[in-house]
Chain A
Amino acid sequence: MREQAKPLEAVTGAFLARYAQQPGDCDARAEAAELFRAGGLPSVREEAWHYTTLRPLADAVFAAPRADAALLVSQLPNIEAPRVVFVDGRFNAALSHPPSGLSVRTGEPAWGTLARPETEKLVALNTMLAEDGAAIELADGVDGGTLMLASLATGGAFHPRHAIRLGRGARLTLIEVNLGSGAYFNNPVFSIEIGEDATLTHLRIQQEAQAAFHLSTLYAEVGARGTYDSFLLTLGGRLARMEVHTRLAGEKATAHLNAAQLLGGNQHADFTTEVTHDAPATVSRQTVKNVLTGHSRGVFQGKIAVSRIAQKTDGYQMNQALLLSPDAEIDSKPELEIYADDVKCSHGATVGELDSDQLFYLRSRGVPEAEARSLLVRAFLNEALDPIAHEAAREAMEGMIAAWWEGRKA
């Protein structure tokens, strides 16, 4: 045990050394540093991290960022929208096209109000080392259209800190794209406040480099009749964890946390959600699809908590996995914690291979086997993809999925 614990301590030490080189600029940072010094990185001994070990971090070497990061901009999905681009964690004005009608501030961490460094160790790390981020604000009633928030990476370790606030009745579609090449460590934290009657559609594309680590923690709070509508597409990274904490704070607030994780090789991706129903008649929906090939491992941990006042809560959670290789693995942990007595909550999980009857049916109609398999994988993902109303984004993601599938076959 000691031998296993040691290397991760070295990683913790390196982060602390990095902190020591920085000028202390605020109390929050110092407090976070104390938390991180005491707690270190999450360990598999903690319940929330049971299925995901950060041990590979100990062997990883994060090279210095390269100068050619701007080239990655051509890999961004082809979506007509203003964009805010970060390169290796720092805002890059030359690659960005700022939006009009809403305020985006960059150049320093956007702390927000919801992050909890005292309970999430990676958030303590982020708070300790965050250098930059986007503060996106929409005033009451503003329709912000579509905005792309992109992270292009080539090396190093960075800890973006983003805060998004939608005023009453405001609307925004935020397309978050993470991509890169090389080995790096991306540890973003989001604080998202959605006002009454406001809607944030958050389409997240995690297409990091094969050697990259992506550990993201997101907090969202939704006011009365507001909606946090999110979809996550995970394709990249050697080790990825997307952790989402959503609090439905006002009556009839809604959260959709849908996801598709497509993994191969030795990839490991973890989607961990916590939805707290903290007001009456709140609704949450989670449809999570995993397509796992090679030796990959997918994790879904979903907790639905219903507080005493949250009567008429409607919570639904479904995790499905398609295992296309005997060596692939899915771990699924649903959790319900209900203190109200008049609620409707359900969860389910399925694991399987492609259905041989369906394959035969397609082949008997002349569809070659490889094409039939591709069609069925796509069909499996449809339930999660279909609700995406933003057509250009959905088409871009469908293209990425098709390319991923082609790459797997090769």
Chain B
Amino acid sequence: MLEIKGLTATVEGKAILNGIDLVVPDGEVHALMGPNGSGKSTLSYVLSGREGYEVTGGTATINGRDLLALTPEQRAAAGLFLAFQYPVELPGVGNANFLRTALNAIRRSRGEEELNAVQFLKLARAELKQLSMADDMLKRNVNVGFSGGEKKRNEVLQMAILRPKLAILDETDSGLDIDALKIVADGVNALRAPDFSALVITHYQRLLDYIVPDRVHVLVHGRIVRSGGPELAQELEATGYAAVTAEAA
């Protein structure tokens, strides 16, 4: 369970998050929507511990554990996963090596046995199949020369292999055609379980047709201004953000 209380943060001295209160209980998928510049991506980076984002107040916990006191790798070990809006290319690092290194680091932190190359390949191939990805995806360098859709699918593949407790998907739908969108949504839906929760950040309602959220929150000027059921996303699609933005102002 993710619990955020009164979270404020600045980037280069500029206030971006202005007191966020948000709870994503176990087993639920919540959507976070909002216009450009409302602080959606900043929230995802603050939660995952990226440098350059200064938390000035409030708390964020995952299953009661103070996220903000942890290094990025400790947050991952605690069960947090961020699917990047712009996945990073790692020239010279093979995807299989990358995935296995990450999985084994997380397994180590949980006190589990590391997987050898053969065990890992078996696991990875099964997940690839689930995501309609070709096996050669494992041989390529991480995200290098990947199309936009391949990069996003690779994020979902990592998520499927690392099995987080809480996933934040930062505009995972951007740049995807409808087929890729369905594959990505199926990948997320396949992870749904009583001990898994997700915060789906998106600009558009389209993704939420395929990943139906339990709750929808609207972020404006670094604050959640409205929350509701899945129907809120449809309302926003019809009216645009102008109405909620005006309300917030």
Determine if B162 and A366 form an interchain contact, defined as CB atoms under 8 angstroms apart. yes
Q: B82 an interface residue at 8 Å Cβ cutoff?
A: yes
Q: A362 and B102: CB pair below 8 A?
A: yes
Q: B207 to chain A: closest CB distance in Å?
A: 21
Task: Check: B51 CB closer than 8 A to any chain A CB.
Answer: yes
| Shortest Cβ distance from A363 into B: residue | B72
Query: With the chains together, A109 CA to B109 CA distance in Å?
Result: 59
Q: How many Å lie between the Cα of A379 and that of B101 in the bound state?
A: 14
Cα-based distance from A41 to B180 in the complex (angstroms)? 66
What sequence of 0s and 1s flags, for each residue 331-363 of chain A, a beta carbon within 8 Å of any chain B beta carbon? 000000000000000000000000011101111
- Interface status of B125 (Cβ within 8 A of chain A): no
A366/B90 in contact, CB under 8 A: no
Contact of B50 among A360, A367, A375, A378 (CB under 8 A): A360
**CB < 8 Å A-B pair total:** 74
A361 with B90: CB separation less than 8 A:
yes
Q: How far is the CA of A365 from the CA of B81 in the complex (A)?
A: 7
**Is A369 on the interface with B (CB-CB < 8 A)?**
yes
Given A380-B92, A383-B92, check contact A366 B106 (CB 8 Å).
Answer: yes
Is B76 within 8 A of A365, CB to CB?
yes
Inter-chain contacts of B90 with A (CB < 8 A): 358, 361-362, 376, 379
The reply on B228 being an interface residue by CB < 8 A is no
Docked-complex contact B49 and A364, CB < 8 angstroms: yes
B244 at the interface (CB under 8 A from A): no
B92 touching A367 by the CB < 8 A rule?
no
**Is A371 close to B, CB under 8 A?**
yes
- Main secondary structure, interface of B, reads helix
Residue from the list B87, B93, B97, B102 in contact with A366, Cβ < 8 A: B102
Tell me which residues across on chain B come within 8 A of A360, comparing CB atoms: 50-51, 72, 88
Is A368 engaged at the interface, CB distance under 8 Å to the other chain? yes
Number of interface residues of A (CB under 8 A): 23
| Contact yes or no, A364 B76, CB < 8 A | yes
For residue A382, CB closer than 8 A to chain B, the reply is: yes
Size of the B side of the interface (Cβ < 8 Å), in residues, is 29
Q: Is the CB of A356 within 8 A of B51?
A: yes
Nearest residue in B to A380 (C-beta to C-beta)?
B92
Would A369 and B84 be within 8 Å (CB), given that A364-B76, A375-B101, A378-B92 are in contact? no
Query: Does B7 have its Cβ within 8 Å of any Cβ on chain A?
Result: no
Least CB separation from A379: chain B residue: B92
How far is the CB of B249 from the nearest CB of chain A, in Å? 33
A368-395 Cβ-contact flags toward B at 8 Å (1 or 0):
1101100110111111000000000000
List the A side residues contacting B93 at CB < 8 Å.
375-376, 379
Given A358-B90, A360-B72, A382-B92, A365–B84 Cβ distance below 8 Å? no
B51 / chain A contacts, CB cutoff of 8 Å:
356, 360
- State in angstroms the CA–CA spacing of A36 and B207 once bound together: 77
Q: B91 on the interface (CB 8 Å rule)?
A: yes
Q: Given A366-B73, A375-B101, verify A357-B162 contact (CB < 8 Å).
A: no
Interface positions of A (Cβ within 8 A of B): 356-358, 360-369, 371-372, 375-376, 378-383
Q: Could you list 27 A-B pairs, sorted by A, with CB under 8 Å?
A: A360-B72, A360-B88, A361-B88, A362-B98, A362-B102, A364-B48, A364-B50, A364-B72, A364-B75, A364-B81, A365-B76, A365-B98, A365-B106, A366-B76, A366-B102, A367-B73, A368-B105, A369-B73, A375-B97, A375-B98, A376-B90, A379-B90, A379-B92, A379-B93, A380-B92, A383-B91, A383-B92
Apart from A358-B88, A365-B105, A366-B102, 12 more pairs, CB < 8 Å: A360-B72, A361-B84, A362-B90, A362-B101, A363-B49, A363-B76, A364-B76, A366-B76, A366-B105, A375-B98, A379-B91, A383-B91
